[in-house]
Amino acid sequence: MVQDSALLNVFYTVVNERSFTRAAEKLFRTQPAVSLAIQRLEAEIGETLLDRSGRDLALTDTGKIVYECARQQENLHRSLVNQIQETRNKSVGRLCIGANESMTLYLLPHLCEFRKAYPKVKVVVQRSRSGEIPDRLLAGDADLGVVSYSVTDERFRAHPLYVDHLSFVVPPSHRLAKQASLSIKDLEMEVFVAHNVASPYRDAVIRAFRDAKVPLNMDIEMPTVESIRRMVQAGQGVAFLPRMCVDQDVRQGALKEVKVKELRVERRINLVSVEKRSLSHAARAFLDLVKADQRKASA
């Protein structure tokens, strides 16, 4: 078994150049150093690889086998170099981001822009609960994660992605739709379509109603944000949802947002990465794009 792969490279060059002298020039070595490398390779394998009896170098049967292996190694090395160069140019690669259903919405504008800039990068968004994302990052299952909570663990680095707020939405035909703002006490008779997944937003709503001593009638609970939006549009109730999740509906008039004085809740959406792990070139490119978008928005 060959312990030093560099010896195979020397052998490959000698055979291709059909000369120890030309091989030495190409490898920037002396001819004696090249001859010694071939001797070491033959000693390791225990067989003669080159027939030196004639004017031209000829491969022995064992030499032909070793040359084929050396050729494959050279091709693999060349392929590796090409792939690394392409990845450094951010033209190819893979970007994997962990996010739950609602967090994915914050990624969409950036992902669309990223795909235009780097169409050859494979983009994978893994559906993950927010609480699972740190473990997925540490395990190397994802490059980046999206969370809505403050990251205090020193093993991770947080990059601001978006600042969102809790939005109270009703159907356009609802009796409260024409009001600019209202009090939480005005909602005691309303039927709420709630998200049956625990979240900081859900906790904030429950706590606000409890503090105001106002009944919170969550008579309808749904598993996804999409199903809640559709139920409210159909006039089956009202809801508190992240503004990003209903932004298009509000803009198009499918839903109406009304401010609730006691519930002005903001949350910062963060892109999270492992502090001591280098980001892939694709992940770094995506993060740079997000930062550039934020600079444009604040300008």
Containing H/E element for 163?
Answer: strand 156-170
User: Under DSSP, is residue 144 helix (H, G, I), strand (E, B) or coil?
Assistant: strand
Give Cβ neighbours of residue 160 (< 8 Å, ≥ 6 apart): 268, 269, 270, 271, 294
Q: Is pLDDT at 63 greater than 70 in this prediction?
A: yes
Phi/psi of residue 291, nearest 5 degrees: -65, -40
Average pLDDT over all residues of the chain: 88
Among the listed residues 257, 230, 287, 298, the one whose alpha carbon sits nearest the alpha carbon of residue 107: 287
pLDDT tens digits, residue range 96-151? 999 988 788 889 999 999 999 999 888 999 988 888 899 889 888 889 999 988 88
Cα gap 197→36, rounded to integer Å? 70
pLDDT digits (tens, 9 = 90+) for 253-267: 999 999 999 998 888
DSSP code for 185: G
Helix, coil or strand: residue 148: coil
- Highest mean pLDDT: which range of 74-78, 89-93, 193-197, 205-209: 205-209
- Stretch(es) of the chain classified as CATH 3.40.190.10: 93-162+268-298, 164-267
Average pLDDT score over residue span 154-181: 93
Residue 127 and residue 100 in contact, taking contact as beta carbons nearer than 8 Å? yes
d(CA 13, CA 25): 10
CA–CA separation, 127 vs 105, rounded Å? 12
* Start and end residues for every CATH 1.10.10.10 domain found in the chain: 5-88
Do 101 and 199 form a contact (C-beta atoms < 8 A)?
no
Residue 93's pLDDT is what? 78
In this predicted structure, the answer to whether residue 235 has a pLDDT above a threshold of 70 is yes
Neighbouring-strand partners of residue 166:
242
164-267 is classed CATH 3.90.870.10: no
Spacing of C-alpha 178 from chain mean position: 42
Q: Is the pLDDT of residue 83 over 70?
A: no
In this prediction, what percent of the chain has a pLDDT beyond 70? 94
CB atoms within 10 A of CB 135: 13
pLDDT tens per residue across span 271-287? 999 998 888 888 899 99
- Quick one: tokens of 127? 């559906």
pLDDT reported for residue 206: 94
Q: Between 268 and 4, where is the model more confident?
A: 268
* CATH code for the part of the protein at 5-88: 1.10.10.10
Integer Cα distance of 178 and 172 in angstroms: 8
Quick one: what percent of the chain has pLDDT higher than 90? 44
pLDDT at 175: 94
pLDDT of residue 102: 79
Query: What is the pLDDT at residue 90?
Result: 61
Q: Is the pLDDT reported for residue 1 higher than 70? A: no
Phi, psi angles (nearest 5°) of residue 273: -135, 165
Question: What ranges make up the beta strands (E) of 41-132?
Answer: 50-51, 58-59, 93-99, 121-127
Residue 53 banded pLDDT, cuts 50, 70, 90: confident
The CATH classification of domain 93-162+268-298, taken from the options 3.40.1110.10, 3.40.640.10, 3.40.190.10, 3.10.400.10: 3.40.190.10
pLDDT at 3: 60
